[in-house]
Amino acid sequence: MSESPAHEVAKPSDFIREIINKDLEAGRHDKVVTRFPPEPNGFLHIGHAKSICLNFGLAKEYSKRLPGTGTDCHLRFDDTDPTKEDTLFEESIQADVRWLGFEWKQIYHASDYFERLYECAEHLIEAGKAYVCSLSDPEIREYRGTVKSAGKNSPYRERSVEENLDLFRRMRKGEFKDGLHVLRAKIDMANPNMKMRDPLLYRIRHARHHMTGDQWCIYPMYDFAHPISDAIEGITHSICTLEFENNRELYDWVVDELMEFAKFPTRPRQYEFARLNLNYTVMSKRRLLELVEGSHVRGWDDPRLPTLAGLRRRGYTPESIRDLCASVGVAKANSTVDMAQLEFCIRNDLNHKAPRVMAVLNPLKLVIENYPDDKVEELEASYWPHDVPKEGSRMVPFSKEIFIDRDDFMLDPPKKYFRLAPGTEVRLRYAYCVTCTDVVKDDAGNVTEIRCTYDPDTLGKNPEGRKVKGTIHWVSAAHAVDAEVRLYDRLLSQEAPPTGKDSEFLNAINPDALVVLTGCKLERSLADAKPQDRFQFERQGYFINDEKDSKPDAPVYNRIVTLKDSWARSQGK
Ligand code: ATP
Ligand code: MG
């Protein structure tokens, strides 16, 4: 056995770690450098979180094993398309990566390398490996052939090196309109891998770039810029999602053709893993953009969206999202993760983080006829259930008039309804047992108030000789804090968005994904709550004080998740 540190480590948990360990053992690398390369053309979503956790996670793990080697993960903006990218997106991406719990030493941009990329392109031209093609876009597509049939050579393929250099330099100078020429690699128009059929390396785009301004009017394509950026930065393992599998051959071609000329510090390799897919939502940036721009949601951080900004505002914790990524693992086969798995992760995290309080979302007044008019009792209520090893409590005021939830009262209840109904008795959480003696109705027959009597002997103990099965939550009317509560549910009402035409998925939007309740009644202690404070509203779910819309005297709460999987139950699962 060798003395290599790789041997000291437990069995790798996935195939990427297995590859890295083998590379270290074989001495192919003495450090691990990964990168997370978002294009700044939208907000990050939970799928990106999987890539972030993997790439930054690897750097964190291996830098412990390989201290002082430069083991690292680069945050690199893959900013090669000036027409779609923006500084605003860069800022949101940085905020999201930090929020997830990862840091970087320095920010990289593909645009930092525009000059070197250009030199590499000229080198390929001089080596007879690239040419300026003047076919139009549709012609290029037609000449490419199909999966079943070979393509045919561009009539411009045999241009001389001199002519190619001249044209390419004039492209850079801005002499030509968008689309007039492109630079292509000269590989093989009959290659079974379509990506190898003389792929585009550069195109003309007269557009202002958010980093380089008007310095350039030609921009490198992803398949050219990405491998070179990796190689320049000394990336050892370039990890991307499975849809790039066919691009790997081109990645290798670019690096191999330029290795000697550009004197790259490492020979990076690309590895593909399965992307994270979630049901009941959409994940592609294109669709998210459509939802935002079409005002189907209230912005990129709308809590219905699977964007990290949306999940954060919804109340998800970074721990819960990292936990989901860890539990999903890194595999080579695509699959769809059930939203219930994410919901499990957040419930699991908040169970020991979110204090329990009482809130009435659909208030119904309850008057205790035999309770003294002006009396107020302060009752101690624990913030934590018995199975959470935490201490702490607050006092809740109890008085003659309280609110209970409409769902906890029925005029004509079915069997086994253990809440309140005419003539039945129920326990008020932390307080007394009450019996419903009468109801008040409006002209339309709706119950507007219920009347009860209380048993003064039932504070903290069971009533004599009777069994009271139900316990309900309540809030003292005179002490209640009024709030708006936003109930969020899944973005789509079907598991997978329709695969048809582009915008068809809009028809699958769940109309109940947002239900806004006003006039909700929160217990007094919540008067002190601050934006981003999380609570469990007893019997209802986990909620967060909204970071944007809450005002000190007009709080807004978002439902993070219900307590149990009420969705699965309502779907009869
Ligand atoms: P989308 O396809 O969702 O619009 P994208 O792939 O265009 O996103 P990029 O900014 O190119 O977004 O992605 C940055 C990195 O995140 C890439 O390495 C990409 O492979 C990875 N990534 C994107 N979506 C997912 C996903 N669902 N699961 C895992 N990794 C992902
Ligand atoms: Mg992409």
Protein residue whose Cα sits closest to atom 14 of ligand 1: 38
Token output for 127: 């080596």
Pairing, β 425-428 against β 433-441: antiparallel
Residues 153, 23 share a domain = yes
Closest ligand to Cα 285: 1
> Per-residue pLDDT averaged across 267-291, rounded?
95
Q: How far is the CA of 352 from the centre of ligand 2 (A)?
A: 37
Q: How many domains does the chain have?
A: 3
DSSP 457-511: GGTTSPPTT-----EE--EEGGGPEEEEEEEE--SBSSSS---SSGGGGGGGB-T
Query: In the predicted model, what is the mean pLDDT of the chain?
Result: 95
DSSP 318-340: HHHHHHHHHHH---SS-EEE-HH
The residue with greater pLDDT, 4 or 99, is 99
In angstroms, rounded to a whole number, what is the distance separating the alpha carbons of residues 281 and 533? Answer: 26
Residue 551, domain member (yes or no) = no
Using 50, 70 and 90 to split pLDDT, how confident is the model at 71? Answer: very high
DSSP summary character for residue 388: S
Ligand 1 pocket test: which of 41, 74, 241 has the largest number of ligand atoms within 8 Å of its C-beta? 241
> Per-residue pLDDT averaged across 311-329, rounded?
97
Residues 104, 68 share a domain = yes
- pLDDT digits 0-9 by tens, 493-520: 999 888 777 788 999 999 999 999 999 9
In angstroms, rounded to a whole number, what is the distance separating the alpha carbons of residues 97 and 88? Answer: 15
> Does the pLDDT value for residue 4 go beyond 50?
no
Residues 157, 112 share a domain = yes
Q: Which residues share a beta bridge with 435?
A: 425, 453
Residues 221, 242 share a domain = yes
Instruction: Please indicate whether residue 304, judged by its CB atom, sits closer than 6 Å to ligand 1.
Output: no
> Per-residue pLDDT averaged across 160-166, rounded?
98
Protein residue whose Cα sits closest to atom 16 of ligand 1: 48
Instruction: Please indicate whether residue 306, judged by its CB atom, sits closer than 6 Å to ligand 1.
Output: no
Q: How far is the CA of 558 from the centre of ligand 1 (A)?
A: 28
Choosing from 35, 197, 285, 427, the catalytic residue is 285
275 among known catalytic residues: yes
In angstroms, rounded to a whole number, what is the distance separating the alpha carbons of residues 269 and 238? Answer: 6
Protein residue whose Cα sits closest to atom 9 of ligand 1: 38
Residues 242, 330 share a domain = no
Token output for 459: 């504070």
Residues 329, 428 share a domain = no
E strand intervals along 17-93: 33-36, 72-77
> Does the pLDDT value for residue 1 go beyond 50?
no
39 among known catalytic residues: yes
Residues 433, 467 share a domain = yes
Q: How far is the CA of 340 from the centre of ligand 2 (A)?
A: 26
In angstroms, rounded to a whole number, what is the distance separating the alpha carbons of residues 140 and 152? Answer: 10
Residue 332, domain member (yes or no) = yes
> Per-residue pLDDT averaged across 426-431, rounded?
97
Choosing from 275, 356, 406, 429, the catalytic residue is 275
> Does the pLDDT value for residue 417 go beyond 60?
yes
List CB contacts of 305: < 8 A, sequence separation 6 or more: 45, 281, 288, 291, 297, 311, 491
Q: Can you give the CATH number for the domain in which 311 is found?
A: 1.10.1160.10
Instruction: Please indicate whether residue 276, judged by its CB atom, sits closer than 6 Å to ligand 1.
Output: yes
Residues 186, 99 share a domain = yes
Residue 54, domain member (yes or no) = yes
In angstroms, rounded to a whole number, what is the distance separating the alpha carbons of residues 481 and 477? Answer: 9
Residue 568, domain member (yes or no) = no
Single-letter code of the amino acid located at 331: A
285 among known catalytic residues: yes
Q: How far is the CA of 76 from the centre of ligand 1 (A)?
A: 13
Q: Among 322, 350, 378, identify where a domain stops.
A: 350
Q: Among 300, 315, 350, identify where a domain stops.
A: 350
Residue 535, domain member (yes or no) = no
Token output for 477: 């009317």
Q: Can you give the CATH number for the domain in which 228 is found?
A: 3.40.50.620
- pLDDT digits 0-9 by tens, 74-86: 999 999 999 999 9
Q: Which domain holds residue 325?
A: 277-350
- pLDDT digits 0-9 by tens, 5-62: 444 456 678 999 999 999 999 999 999 999 999 999 999 999 999 999 999 999 999 9
pTM above 0.75, yes or no: yes
> Per-residue pLDDT averaged across 311-328, rounded?
97
pLDDT at 60: 96
Residue 502, domain member (yes or no) = no
Pairing, β 393-398 against β 556-562: unpaired
Residue 546, domain member (yes or no) = no
CA distance to 5, 29, 473, per residue, from 25 (Å): 8, 9, 61
Pairing, β 130-133 against β 182-185: antiparallel
Q: How far is the CA of 38 from the centre of ligand 1 (A)?
A: 7
Protein residue whose Cα sits closest to atom 10 of ligand 1: 38
Ligand 1 pocket test: which of 48, 221, 279 has the largest number of ligand atoms within 8 Å of its C-beta? 48
Q: Among 246, 273, 300, identify where a domain stops.
A: 273
For residues 82 and 209, is the Cβ–Cβ distance under 8 A? yes
Residue 40, domain member (yes or no) = yes
In angstroms, rounded to a whole number, what is the distance separating the alpha carbons of residues 202 and 219? Answer: 6
pLDDT at 502: 75
Ligand 1 atom with least separation from CA of 285? 4
pLDDT at 101: 98
Residue 50, phi-psi category: left (phi > 0), alpha (psi -120 to 50), beta (remainder): alpha
In angstroms, rounded to a whole number, what is the distance separating the alpha carbons of residues 557 and 543? Answer: 6
> Does the pLDDT value for residue 2 go beyond 50?
no
Of 258, 251, 180, 254, give the one whose Cα is nearest residue 217: 180
> Does the pLDDT value for residue 3 go beyond 50?
no
In angstroms, rounded to a whole number, what is the distance separating the alpha carbons of residues 486 and 537? Answer: 13
Q: How far is the CA of 37 from the centre of ligand 2 (A)?
A: 9
Residues 75, 221 share a domain = yes
Q: Can you give the CATH number for the domain in which 449 is found?
A: 2.40.240.10
DSSP summary character for residue 407: G
Instruction: Please indicate whether residue 38, judged by its CB atom, sits closer than 6 Å to ligand 1.
Output: yes
- pLDDT digits 0-9 by tens, 545-557: 999 999 999 999 9
Residues 170, 55 share a domain = yes
Residues 211, 113 share a domain = yes
Using 50, 70 and 90 to split pLDDT, how confident is the model at 192? Answer: very high
Residues 288, 267 share a domain = no
Pairing, β 541-545 against β 534-537: antiparallel
